[in-house]
Structure 1
Amino acid sequence: MRKPRYSEEFKKEAARLIIIDGMSVSDVSKKLGASPAQLYKWRDAHLESHSQEAAALGQASPKEMAAELDSLRKQLRKAERVNEILKKTVSYFSKDEI
């Protein structure tokens, strides 16, 4: 049985799903029908090529941007939890004043 051949565009899109959209490798594997090992290779190749391009342009690499995105998502979740607590606190104290 022959291995399926995937186009470069297909590989790039799979890597984008993992890197940019934050999907897990196993989810992308199930969705696209490619093996997780292939997806890891495509992801690493995509990150490497974009890291070199970014370095040449003086921009952040995809790894750095992905790390920043992850950090920002964590900050957002924390801010949402704090906001929810504050809403409950305001509601609690508003009831006491009436």
Structure 2
Amino acid sequence: MAKKQRHAYTEEFCREAVRRPDQPGNTAASVAKELGLHPGQIYNWRRQFSRLSEKQFNSLSGVDYSQQESEEERRLKRELHAARKENEFLKKAAAYFAKLQE
């Protein structure tokens, strides 16, 4: 069985493919057929563009910036979680030592 070849479409191509079904007389299926795509691909791109910001969808020299940003976001969330736990502990310790001094 032959493997399907993956295509790397430009952002401009994707945006045009998403924009064209919104024009009168066009459907996602007709545009997909015309462009040689599966109709689901147009819906996927539409969802990506609506969910992600301009910068997140861009890739430059094969580097996906959305992945880099999400890694940074996960790191910051871990740091925030650790800081909150430490803060909770310090509040309890302060309350404990305050009781001892009374």
What is the TM-score with the length of structure 1 in the denominator? 0.48
Higher helix share: 1
Bigger RCO of structures 1 and 2 (CA < 8 A, at least 6 apart): 1
